[in-house]
């Protein structure tokens, strides 16, 4: 006899930042787990290509634009099972950098204000027993020179996650944060390239030094981040909320 999928599989999971390295892995994993998906990203063409072969719907929403986010939320009428806050940006500059203020505003808009606006606008659509997962970072626990805006946004996102867990817990909605360290994505390789240039060494040499500090002596794969999200959306994780999950740590 076939086992019926849990009832929540009939409800939608929204994934922001779906076209990035982690976002693509999330899309593939959650679709394979049987979830209905709505993918959000900057390029509607890339989103449509990513959704081929799945039942996913998609929309392009500028997460820097408060009005656009609120309009998206007002227009959303379906029940939601989960909201995955995965979108993020990184700017690297010192505290006295010439464009530091603009970069702080941009980083906080995408990495912190957008998750708040989406949670605020969609919380009434999330079913009782639903899920929220925020993708923070190891840099939500430690600092790194030049990453002030990014670290501030990721520290704050963990704090918001823990507050939302208390606020939504009466409805059995779990809220958890995932804190990846070095993940093998284009963004991480770009960070490594910048750092190697600053240190005046080859990229391969710098990467070898980075992974030597990680417990598993390798970067985390995007699929491993997606697997943890998949677990947190599963029935087995119904009793886990307000936690921050660190994936392979290293000094900042």
* Residue 249 predicted with pLDDT over 90: no
Eight-class DSSP state of 143: -
Q: Cα–Cα distance between 144 and 155 in angstroms, integer?
A: 12
Looking at residue 9, what is its pLDDT?
64
pLDDT of residue 116: 98
Beta bridge partners of 59: 40
Confirm whether 91 is domain-assigned.
yes
**Residue 130 domain flag:** yes
Q: How many helices (H) and strands (E) does the chain have?
A: 9, 7
Task: Say what the pTM is.
Answer: 0.90
Average pLDDT over residues 7-15: 81
**Long-range contact pairs involving 209-217 (C-beta distance under 8 Å, separation at least 24):** 210/182, 210/250, 211/182, 213/250, 213/251, 214/181, 214/182, 214/248, 214/249, 214/250, 215/248, 215/249, 216/248
Q: How confident is the model at residue 1 (pLDDT cuts 50, 70, 90)?
A: very low
pLDDT of residue 248: 75
In the DSSP assignment, the letter for residue 252 is -
Structure tokens given for 138: 């190891």
Summarised one tens digit per residue, pLDDT across range 58-97 is: 999 999 999 999 999 999 999 999 999 999 999 888 999 9
**Long-range contacts for 140-147 (Cβ within 8 Å, ≥24 apart)?**
140/177, 140/179, 140/244, 141/179, 141/244, 141/246, 142/251, 142/252, 143/252, 144/252, 145/94, 146/92, 146/93, 146/94, 147/90, 147/92
- Tell me, yes or no, whether 189 lies in a domain: no
- Is residue 142 in some structural domain? yes
Angle between helices 21-32 and 222-232 (to 10 degrees): 50
Selection from 56, 48, 43, 44 nearest residue 15 by Cα: 56
Domain with residue 101: its CATH number is 3.40.50.720
Residue 3 in this model has a pLDDT that exceeds 90: no
In a domain, 193, yes or no: no
Domain count, the chain: 1
174-180/126-135 β-pairing: parallel
Residue 196: inside a domain, yes or no?
Answer: no
Domain presence at residue 198 = no
Say if 197 falls within a structural domain: no
Enclosing domain of residue 241: 7-183+221-247
Rounded to an integer, the average pLDDT of 202-211 is: 71
Mean pLDDT of all residues belonging to the chain: 89
136-162 per-position pLDDT tens digit = 999 999 998 999 999 999 999 999 999
Given a cut of 80, is residue 187 above it in pLDDT?
no
């Amino acid at each position: 006899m076939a086992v019926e999928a849990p009832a929540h599989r009939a409800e939608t999971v929204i994934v922001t930042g779906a076209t990035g390295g982690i976002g693509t892995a999330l899309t593939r994993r959650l679709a394979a787990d049987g979830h209905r998906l709505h993918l959000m990203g900057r390029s509607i063409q890339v989103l449509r290509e990513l959704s081929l072969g799945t039942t996913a719907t998609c929309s392009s929403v500028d997460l820097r634009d408060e009005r656009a986010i609120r309009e998206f939320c007002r227009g959303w009428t379906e029940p939601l099972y989960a909201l995955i806050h995965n979108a993020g940006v990184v700017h690297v500059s010192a505290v006295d950098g010439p464009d530091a203020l603009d970069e702080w505003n941009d980083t906080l808009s995408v990495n912190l204000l957008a998750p708040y606006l989406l949670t605020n606008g969609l919380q009434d659509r999330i079913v009782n027993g639903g899920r929220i997962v925020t993708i923070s970072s190891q840099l939500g626990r430690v600092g790194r020179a030049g990453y002030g805006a990014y670290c501030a946004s990721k520290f704050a996102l963990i704090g918001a996650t823990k507050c939302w867990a208390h606020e939504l817990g009466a409805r059995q909605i779990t809220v958890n944060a995932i804190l990846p360290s070095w993940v093998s994505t284009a963004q991480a390789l770009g960070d490594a390239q910048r750092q190697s240039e600053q240190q005046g060494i080859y990229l391969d040499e710098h990467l070898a030094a980075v992974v030597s500090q990680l417990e598993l002596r390798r970067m985390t794969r995007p699929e491993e981040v997606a697997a943890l999200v998949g677990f947190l959306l599963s029935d087995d994780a119904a009793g886990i909320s307000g936690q921050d999950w660190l994936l392979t740590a290293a000094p900042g």
